[in-house]
Amino acid sequence: MSSWNTQIARLFAEHKKALEAFVARRTGNSQVAADLTQESFLRLARLPADKKIDNLPAFLFTIASNLVRDHQRQAIRRERLDGGEPSEELACNAPGAEEQLWAQQEQALMHEAIEALPEATRHIFLLYHVDECSYREIGERLKISPRSVEYQLRRALIDCRAFIKARLLSDASGPSR
């Protein structure tokens, strides 16, 4: 083994773990740290044997630091171009067809329940939940007390729950296919 190869092998044995920890701290990824550490040693080994380097460990850490900087620049570039590196799980936050259908059915059932309310109660319910009026504002508009508004809203919720429960029970016990 030549003198240069011996120096590289000794440097590897003495500084590999420290260099990998240094790179891992800067990248936050142990796999990337292992790859960049290996690349640092390869680049050092590719230098001509006659190249005079006063402090090999410091030079090795400089190579690693430059590789980390290059890696981070590439990651930023990838992020800008295509939204980043692909993940193991290509999860989509959008609801699937089944969830969308269920949500549409729930919404339709809620609309039916609201439509089934007595007209005055439905009007108060919509003023409160759609127009976001306060009890006092609704009371002033309809010339009733805020307490009556509260009672009507409570009544509307009870009636809507009962309507939905009855509909779900009748659908569950309906004809099976």
pLDDT tens digits for range 95-116: 778 888 888 888 898 899 999 9
How do residues 136-174 score in pLDDT, each as one tens digit?
999 999 999 999 999 999 999 999 999 989 988 887 776
Mean pLDDT rounded to a whole number for the chain: 85
Query: In terms of pTM, does the model score above 0.75?
Result: no
C-alpha 116/C-alpha 105 separation (Å) is: 16
How do residues 50-68 score in pLDDT, each as one tens digit?
778 888 888 888 998 999 9
For the CA atoms of 38, 57, 33, 1, what is the dihedral angle to 10 degrees?
A: 20
**Which amino acid would we find at residue 36?**
L
How much of the chain, in percent, has pLDDT values that exceed 70? 90
pLDDT interval class at 76 (50, 70, 90):
confident
DSSP string, 4-48: HHHHHHHHHHHHHHHHHHHHHHHHS-HHHHHHHHHHHHHHHHHS-
The answer to whether 124 touches 103, Cβ cutoff 8 Å, is no
8-state DSSP, 84: S
- CB atoms under 10 Å from CB of 110, counted, come to 13
C-alpha 145/C-alpha 135 separation (Å) is: 8
pLDDT interval class at 91 (50, 70, 90):
low
The answer to whether 62 touches 40, Cβ cutoff 8 Å, is no
Structure tokens at 124: 């108060």
**pLDDT (0 to 100) of residue 157:** 92
Centroid of chain to Cα 119 = 44
Centroid of chain to Cα 122 = 39
* Structure-token match 């609201």, residue found: 114
